[in-house]
Amino acid sequence: MSASVPAELAAAGALDASREPSPPVGIALGTMQLGTRVPADRAYDILDAYLDLGGQWLDTANCYAFWLSDTGLGGQSETVIGDWLARRGARDKVLLSTKVGAEPTRPGGFPAHAEGLAPEVVRDRLRGSLQRLRTDRVDLYWAHMEDRSRPVPEVADTFADLVAQGLTSRIGLSNHPTWFAAAAKVHAESKGAAAFTALQLRESYLHHRPDVEVEGENHPHGMMTIGSKDFAARNGVDLWAYTPLLTGLYEHPDRPLPTAYDHPGTYARLEALRTWSRELGVRPSQLVIALLIAQEPSIRPIVGVSSVAQVRDAVEAARLSLPEEALRSLNAAG
């Protein structure tokens, strides 16, 4: 692999002459637990390691992590990232992705009392995120979850205006159905405005049964589907996958399968995954990361970690080149 500077960073003028840049990696660093379950000093080490290994994207949200916070409200992840950016002088060396829409309006209020996507809320919450992140712009701003009280054109216009103001370079939809993304695209094109260019949904190597609710999944349209993949491929939209490693399931075969994943296809896929993991000499979770990146269209896994060792494993996985035989076998299993 070439050790050239990533195009996205070069375009932003993010050249660091003090060190030889590492090759870019196809994962985003999930920072949900930084500042809560992962204390600040360990979070700084994790962020340092990710940057030094060639990491680009940091994925956070204004609501991270209200469910782990003593206050019942979020903002801890953005605050830790902002403090690290100031300490490291790293703003122009990374790409920031944050979200709006899921922060509770009062402790214990989620999901019935989430902030939503009203224009004034989106604008105000972005200002708060920028203050915590200690920056004047983000690189990708997401509508975190649906707000059915707001019409599609209004949501599309609200986020497009943020691009026009230079507060974000791009906009994305997280946990939204494909029909919403398609309608928003048509509206943006009709006005010549910035459109949503990324979808963030839940995806992994194992697939759930569509008739069974996924335990812990709060977003009814949060699962990646054939339809969302087709929409993304046909319209040049990036796909981001959260919970790609199913909270450690692949590394702990002794754990019981969640009900939604307990079906014959899962067992066939796990067998294929373990077979190829042994054949290639990599961990099952690393194989899952590499496989998602190798898909058509490619999927960017958001990998949450709690240690520097996990960062290294994830970056190593993102740089794996899988044999065609492995790709065919793994994709066909189950």
DSSP letter string, 139-199: SEEEE-S--TTS-HHHHHHHHHHHHHTTSBS-EEEES--HHHHHHHHHHHHHHT---EEEE
Structural domain includes residue 209: yes
* pLDDT at residue 4 tops 50: no
How many other C-beta atoms lie within 10 A of the C-beta of residue 19?
Answer: 9
Residue 276 lies in a domain: no
Residue showing tokens 């999944």: 217
**Mean per-residue pLDDT, 197-212:** 95
Please give the pLDDT value at position 129.
98
- All residues at 6 or more sequence positions from 262 whose CB lies less than 8 Å from its CB, including other chains: none
Residue 8: pLDDT band (50, 70, 90) is very low
pTM, rounded to two decimals: 0.92
Please tell me the predicted confidence (pLDDT) of residue 174. 98
Residue 113 domain-assigned?
A: yes
Cα–Cα distance for residue pair 227/178, rounded to 1 Å: 7
Which residue, chain included where needed, has tokens 């373990």? 274
Would you place residue 20 in the very low, low, confident or very high pLDDT band (cuts 50, 70, 90)?
very low
**Residue 15 domain-assigned?**
yes
pLDDT score for 22: 57
Residue 53 lies in a domain: yes
Q: Indicate whether 15 pLDDT > 80.
A: no
pLDDT greater at residue 200 or residue 9? 200
Does a structural domain hold residue 136?
yes
> How many whole angstroms separate alpha carbon 6 and alpha carbon 274?
33
pLDDT in tens, 77-133: 999 999 999 999 999 999 999 999 999 999 999 999 999 999 999 999 999 999 999
Mean pLDDT of the chain, nearest integer: 92
Neighbours of 10 (CB within 10 A): 12
Any alpha helices (H) in the chain, and if so which ranges? Answer: 7-11, 40-52, 76-88, 119-133, 152-164, 178-191, 226-235, 264-280, 284-293, 308-318, 324-332
Q: Which two tokens stand for residue 298?
A: 């490619």
Residue 54 lies in a domain: yes
CATH of the domain at 238: 3.20.20.100
Weakest mean pLDDT among 19-23, 197-201, 203-207, 312-316: 19-23
Is 329 a domain residue? Answer: no
Lowest mean pLDDT segment, chosen from 3-17, 22-36, 158-172, 226-240: 3-17
What are the tens digits of pLDDT across the range 298-308? 999 999 999 99
pLDDT (tens digit per residue) in 168-177: 999 999 999 9
- Whole-angstrom distance, CA of residue 1 vs CA of residue 133: 32
Which residue bears the tokens 């009203």?
118
Residue range of the domain that includes 35: 7-265+285-323
> How many domains are contained in the chain?
1
